[in-house]
Amino acid sequence: MKGKSRNQDQFNLLQANLRDMLNPNEPVYQLTDSMDWEYFEREFSDYYIDFGRPAKPIRLMVSLLILKQIYSISDDEVVETWTQNPYWQYFSGMDVFQWKLPCVSSDLTHFRNRIGSEGAEKIFKNSIDIHGKSARENEVVIDSTVMEKNITFPTDVKLYRKIIERCRKIAEAESIPLRQSYRRVEKKLLLAQRFRHHPKNRKKARSAERKLKTIAGRLLREIERKLMEQSNSEYTSFLGRASRVLSQQRGDKQKIYALHEPDVYCISKGKDHKRYEFGTKASLVLTKRIGIIVGALNIHNQFDGHSLPVVLAQTERLTKRRPKVAIVDRGYRGEKQVGTTEIAIPRVPGKRSTNYEKQKARQRFRRRAGIEPIIGHLKSDHRMLRNYLKGSIGDDINILLAAAAFNYKKRLRQLKSIFVSFGLKINYGLKWLIDRLNIHKTDLAIQN
């Protein structure tokens, strides 16, 4: 059931109202007043039913998600910090200062599952709309990056060990007697993996790895056989993934790198410091002049050029405007036109062109390089370096909320710069007035 939101204009006789108590020149205060909170009430009402226990207010949950991404903190931290920061409480729609936690941290997980990627895109759309006409430009910059998943570096030994441990837990939960648990054998085989790349240990480590794979296969087949006798289909997904892990070869495609995250890809972007990254690909669309993110999409492990139609369609859906020119790098080669959008790609070195064309192309592609530091900010400042949300839906939600947080933070900086420049003008005017008064007093003293 949909929760009721508080009325900030309601007068409270016993406690001071946050609107009157806080500094109205603070950027968070101004952002709160400039946002259309009714938009979220309208859009998210369809995700609630008309009966049952009342949920937390929509504005509270949306604001907590936004604050979490802007300041790059966890669910637990944003809930705890909320009770200490009156500006955050005012941003969440509170009329008076609250001393207790707004919700438990797991409520944010339930809210993300409730709205899904469609709801996260609505938050992202709001972050674009607060910039007004600045977010609607004819030329955009597009680039892709890797959003790594929160998994350990995958190796065959780690996967075999996970299968063995999981099979033991299933046997314990379902009271299945195993012919052998292999606990002591497994411990010795894992010790043999230490310093496995040393020439003296290589042969021993490879033999131990093959033995671990054999043990994992034995336990898996025994569990499958005895679960079939009990007609238990609860563990079907795990058994299928484990069978794929044991049968996959080095050169296979669509390999499984984590049993709990089967949608993780091995992506090589040609980086010297990080040869392989395990996660998913994300595509970003940036306005050329102002630098506002107007498109953010999870494209899995797709070729960059093939993702252009979907990414441009999302940009048109969110901004109500189709970009005329999309500036990309050579990784998007092969596409010159997508619908009515021209795809500008750097020319091949050595190809002749006029001086005017060279100068115009240089200006475009120098600006294209400006998306690289923005990707760095998304990763280091807005939780895109490592994705902690589960599943493919978690990938979609994380990239959308990270892009929304970047736009909101950009708006906060704009509000802060406006206030600083306005304050400097006032200070300069007061100083000029005081100087004029002092000169006038000096002239009067001289005349007397």
In the chain, count H helices and then E strands: 15, 8
**Successive 10-residue mean pLDDT values, the chain, 448 residues:** 67 74 91 93 90 89 96 95 95 92 94 95 96 92 95 95 96 93 95 93 95 96 89 86 94 92 91 90 94 94 91 95 92 88 81 64 83 94 94 95 96 85 51 56 54
Dihedrals phi, psi of 55, to nearest 5 degrees: -85, 175
pLDDT in tens, 298-335: 998 889 999 999 999 999 999 999 999 999 998 898 88
User: What pTM did the predictor assign?
Assistant: 0.88
Report the pLDDT value the prediction gives residue 353, as an integer from 0 to 100: 58
pLDDT score for 253? 87
**pLDDT tens for each residue of 82-113:** 999 999 999 999 999 999 999 999 999 999 99
Q: Where in the chain is the domain with CATH 3.30.420?
A: 132-151+265-408
**Crossing angle of helices 58-70 and 75-82, rounded to 10°:** 110
Q: What is the pLDDT of residue 161?
A: 96
The pLDDT value given to residue 424: 46
DSSP structure string for 281-343:
EEEEEEESSS--EEEEEEEET--GGGGHHHHHHHHHHHHS---SEEE--GGGTT-SEETTEEE
For domain 132-151+265-408, give the fold. Answer: Nucleotidyltransferase; domain 5 (3.30.420)
328 phi/psi in degrees, rounded to 5 = -135, 175
Query: Which residues does 18 contact at the CB level (< 8 Å), separation at least 6?
Result: 8, 86, 89, 90, 94, 95, 96, 97
The maximal CA–CA distance of the chain, rounded, in angstroms, is: 114
